[in-house]
Structure 1
């Protein structure tokens, strides 16, 4: 799992990569953006308790995944308390190992790409168990966002100053089109 958050003071991106065993490892994964194999250093946090089943669908529905960690892990606490992980990019990979050599058979495939949608840290009462969970939504969520920009001449000019496509858009509602032999194109225009 890789999470790309931000340093709160500067806004610089910071990437943390974890895997669900002990020890640090450099592993090859298939990059979700380029489709090429790249190597990343993953920190071993045996405290990666659980990842919700990731639905393997071929449609554009927004998928939700929750990842649970132990609250005792220092690296997880640093990630969630020191850095800003709101809307941080999340990538979850799955790799297969050869049982005899314990080496990866091929680069780990990308199983989930999305954003952090919430990271509640539950502080338990004395004698109770606490947990840290990161709620993630898939990047298909971006398809549900609307565009607040209006179709206007001014808006088009800010994007491309020479484009007059929307020049008459505000007066289109006032057009009266006469479909006979005589008439006017506009009510205020002379025949």
Structure 2
């Protein structure tokens, strides 16, 4: 169980009211410069500057973040996916999704606890970390509102990637001169016989086959 600290416990004991907010942080790549551009969105009423892990981050509110699927915390290495709905009417969303390259962009989701006046009770804690796995920007019908749908995959997705290096003698020598695969290029082309008669081997002579060995009897 997560320890939320004494400040949260004290506020809960007073029954004065507490609000939980979700904060989404995306780090996309600028196509023109190649630099990393960040965007913070949260389901608060207005923009806010919050301190996350010692760094000040600006989170835009007022409807930019429409909805987030319930974030489930569990033990294991299973790949978790979540869908986040953003408003295309927000200029910050359009800039991050259409102006920048959000493919496989790192994403963090934090949960912040605030009192009834809107002041943070404790530093927001992270509940999800992963990357943008897909972006959907469908064209809405006439007279209806559109949404930007992001599919997020947790960091466990990295465990499903194949190794980029090959098992060759050259690549293995980079590991402290390992020569285990020095014959890897000819593996499978050299026949090896284990307890079997070699194919195409010369047969024994008939004279030898006709010899019968008998044990002397007294």
- TM-score, L = length of structure 2: 0.70
Contact 2:42 2:64 in 1 (8 A): no
The structure with more strand, counted as a fraction of residues:
1
1:126 aligns with 2:148: no
- Aligned with 2:71: secondary structure? coil
RMSD: 2.4
Q: CA deviation at 1:28?
A: 2.2
Q: CA deviation at 1:52?
A: 0.4
Compared CA separation, residues 114 and 45, structure 1 to 2 (3 A): farther
Equivalent position of 2:95 in the other structure: 78
Unaligned runs of 5+ in 2: 1-23, 196-218
Structure with higher Rg: it is 2
Contact 1:18 1:45 in 2 (8 A): no
**Matched pairs, number:** 171
Equivalent position of 1:103 in the other structure: 119
Equivalent position of 1:4 in the other structure: 27
Contact 2:88 2:147 in 1 (8 A): yes
Contact 2:169 2:184 in 1 (8 A): yes
Deviations 1:76-107 (A, max 9, x none): 111111111011011011011123x4321211
Alignment of 1:4-23 (within 5 A): 4-23=27-46
Compared CA separation, residues 161 and 57, structure 1 to 2 (3 A): closer
Unaligned runs of 5+ in 1: 31-36, 180-191
Looking at structure 1, the residues matched to 56 and 29 of structure 2 have their Cα atoms a distance apart, in angstroms, of 22
Looking at structure 1, the residues matched to 59 and 143 of structure 2 have their Cα atoms a distance apart, in angstroms, of 32
Looking at structure 1, the residues matched to 192 and 148 of structure 2 have their Cα atoms a distance apart, in angstroms, of 64
1:63 aligned to 80, 93, 100, which one? 80
- TM-score, L = length of structure 1: 0.78
- Aligned with 2:104: secondary structure? strand
Compared CA separation, residues 164 and 97, structure 1 to 2 (3 A): same
- Aligned with 1:104: secondary structure? coil
